[in-house]
Amino acid sequence: MSTLVLLTLTGLGLGALYFLIASGLSFIFGLMDVLNFAHGALVTAGAYAAWRLTGHLPFALAVAVAIVTGAGLAALIETVLIRPLYSRPKDQILVTVGLGLALPALVQGIWGADARQLQPPRQLAGTVSLLGAKVPTDRFLLIAAALVVLAALKLFLSRTRYGLVVRAGVEDRAMVTALGIDVRKAFTLVFAIGGALAGLAGALGGVYFGSVSPGQGTSLLVFGFVVVVIGGMGRTDGVALAAAAVGLIQQFTNYYAASGLGDFAAVAILAVVLLTRGNRDGIQRLIRRAA
């Protein structure tokens, strides 16, 4: 029983990280048709921002800086590099892939290739006893953060005008502009929100893994894409469920089958989803975009 509880909460914690990464990716692709391969670099940027400041600033403030770093970088990337390339998808992919390689390389150049230990505050370092299991406290933080983000995203999408523009833009971007709306502002906003969540994922990922490393964001990004494809483009609930499912399947497979098999299981689930069920529009768009 205690193993089950521990695996479930650890899986959900990992799923929470995936959700933070995938929800941004999903809206960026749903609205703008941009496959943002630089998203993992934003996670890394957030992770290093949190790592640099932990110990100097209160942890919450370090996380806030990580969020702002992600949002600022994302907004900069969108306005300077992506915006001129909206009608040139292949060049766009080259730019985001390039950034996805260059930014972690820059981080590696400055702080080295080795993982750096991130010392979380004492309140997060311990464990909580739950149904006989000693569950690391940070798992609860991750799950709570993902739930807050999920609720906030849903409120943003359902209650604000920009949320309405984003939902409509995911359906038919051209028609949104034909109603007299400057959809580019929504693009920048969605990129910034995605970046903020990536920054948050970076900081919390540092806590979850206990360290930060230059390639951490890129490794997480792979599963972010898996979650987006399973959950659906621009679907918050779908992405949340898919993230939880992928996190749980990975943890349980790693424990009950063989360590390392969890990654394979996630990709296998992706294959099954691709082969068997709907969301074909989104997947076809994704494949067309990548081709």
Partner 1 sequence: MILELDDVRVTLGGSQILQGVSFTVAPTGVTALLGRNGVGKTTTVKAILGLVSRTGRIAFAGTPVQRLRTHEIVRQGIGYAPEDRCVFAKLTVAENLTLAERRGADHAYDLVYELFPELKARGAQAVGTLSGGQQQMVAIARTLLNDNRLLVVDEPTKGLAPKVVTEVAEVLERAAERVPMLLVEQNLALVRRLAGDAVVLAAGQVVHRGPVRDLLGDAALTRELLGVGKAA
Token code pair at residue 222:
């792979």
- Contacts by 108-115 with C-beta closer than 8 Å and gap 24+? 108/214, 111/48, 111/214, 113/213, 113/214, 114/213, 115/211, 115/212, 115/213
End-to-end CA gap in the chain? 47
What size, in residues, is the chain? 291
- 164 is an interface residue for partner 1 by CB under 8 A: yes
Q: Which is nearer to partner 1, 122 or 161 (CB)?
A: 161
Name the nearest CA neighbour of 235 among 281, 200, 189: 281
Contact 35, 191 (CB under 8 A): no
Q: Does 278 bind partner 1 (CB under 8 A)?
A: no
Query: What is the contact mask toward partner 1 in residues 101 to 140, using x (rule: CB under 8 A)?
Result: ----------------------------------------
The residue within the footprint of partner 1, chosen from 174, 275, 278, 280 (CB under 8 A), is 174
Q: Is 287 in the site for partner 1 (CB under 8 A)?
A: no
Q: CB neighbours (10 Å) of residue 221?
A: 26
Integer Cα distance of 285 and 291 in angstroms? 10
Nearer to partner 1, 60 or 174 (CB): 174
Report if residue 281 touches partner 1, rule: CB under 8 A: no
Place of tokens 């569950």: 135
In contact, 50 and 118? CB cutoff 8 Å: yes
> Interface with partner 1 by CB under 8 A: which range of 16-24, 75-83, 137-145, 163-171?
163-171
Of 91, 177, 272, 277, which lies in the binding site for partner 1, with binding defined by CB under 8 A? 177
Does position 172 bind partner 1 by CB under 8 A?
yes
Q: How many residues bind partner 1 (CB under 8 A)?
A: 17
Q: Which of 80, 179, 275, 291 binds partner 1 (CB under 8 A)?
A: 179
* 187-to-26, 174, 276 alpha-carbon distances in Å: 13, 13, 32
Which residues inside 143-162 make contact with partner 1, applying CB under 8 A? 161
Binding pattern for the stretch 208-237 against partner 1, x by CB under 8 A and - elsewhere = ------------------------------
Asked if residue 183 binds partner 1 (CB under 8 A), the reply is: yes
Name the minimum Å distance from CB 150 to partner 1.
Answer: 19
Residues lying near partner 1 in the complex (CB under 8 A): 161, 164-165, 167-168, 171-172, 174-183
